[in-house]
Amino acid sequence: SITKMEVWVTNKTSNFEQARNIIAFADLGEHDIIHNPMWSAQGSAGVTYNDANNLYAQLISTYSAVRDIRRANTVFPGAIVQGQDYEKIENARLLRPSEYTYQPQLGYLSLRSALQADEVLAVAFEFTYNGQAYQVGEFSSDITDGSAGTGASQSGALFLKLLKPVSLSPVSYTWDLMMKNIYSVGYNAYNLQSAGFKMNITYQSDTTGVYLNYIPEGNIRNELLLRVMNLDRLNSKNDPYPDG
């Protein structure tokens, strides 16, 4: 379970009271799927943490000079690409806990205010698994201001897990980190009981103005949308047969 979390976004406000420079990597903490061949898996498989691959170890040794965020573009080699592998943000804003929610059963983060297209989202979090504590990214208390020098512009940048880069598109591998088309079915929905529960997915036809449980055109025409979205897999007895 998550025991601690810090969420950082691009700062579009005039409040810099808790602002920090951040450098966020998409591959940080990944073991099974690592996109940049500069990094290689290590440690325990199936657990997300800083040492799941050798990226973090290199950040705090070979590339430690990037704590001075102004040097990032010159310290990193050409194979580490800003906008693809990492994003750097000066004076990023730390969100208050009231500005986001975390769903512990399903493990997703929701912001109460939508991000603009050019804003970055990055996190650091700590969790326990089988009695062992693990951490992804760095907390603001881990790296104090001025650790890369003196003055605000030389405050030690935090290394974080990148969730949303400046430019997000379906071809970007961070695309899969964003949950899409999520609809609430009520508070504590994970406690729903099968008895009396009904769900349907409908499409409003532009030609007839009525709601249909299928789309009457294209490759999936006349197929029940419940089955298209793989939501109708069992019958009322939990046998593996769809029953509509």
pLDDT of residue 186: 66
Q: Quick one: what percent of the chain has pLDDT higher than 70? A: 91
Q: Alpha-carbon dihedral of residues 170, 175, 181, 183, nearest 10 degrees? A: 180
pLDDT, average across residues 80-93: 94
pLDDT confidence tier of residue 151, bands split at 50, 70 and 90: very low
Q: What is the pLDDT of residue 150?
A: 39
- Give CA–CA dist 41/54, Å, rounded: 7
* Closest to 7 in 3D by CA, of 69, 131, 68, 96: 96
Measuring CA to CA, which residue among 38, 3, 6 is closest to residue 161? 6
**Cα–Cα distance for residue pair 115/119, rounded to 1 Å:** 6
Lowest mean pLDDT among 39-43, 146-150, 158-162, 235-239: 146-150
Query: What is the Cα–Cα distance from 137 to 142, expressed in whole angstroms?
Result: 10
User: How many whole angstroms separate alpha carbon 51 and alpha carbon 135?
Assistant: 9
**pTM, two decimal places:** 0.76
152 vs 204, residue with greater confidence: 204
The confidence score (pLDDT) of residue 167 equals: 86
Over 60: is that where the pLDDT of 149 sits? no
Q: Are 1 and 104 in contact (CB under 8 A)?
A: yes
More confident position, 103 or 24: 24
**Rounded mean pLDDT, 129-155:** 73
Q: How many CB atoms lie within 10 A of CB 27?
A: 21
| Residue 167 · residue 41 · CB < 8 Å | no
For 62, the token pair is: 């070979």
Task: Give CA 20 to chain center in angstroms.
Answer: 19
Give 3 or 194, the one with higher predicted confidence: 3
Tell me the three-class secondary structure of 71-129, residue by residue: HHHHHCCCCCCECCCEEEEEEEEECCHHHEEEECCCCEEEECCCCCCCCCEEEEEEEEE
Q: Is a pLDDT exceeding 70 seen at residue 142? A: yes
Mean pLDDT of the chain: 87
For 208-226, what is each residue's pLDDT tens digit? 889 999 998 889 988 999 9
Lowest mean pLDDT: which of 108-112, 173-177, 207-211?
173-177
Which position has the higher pLDDT, 192 or 83?
A: 83
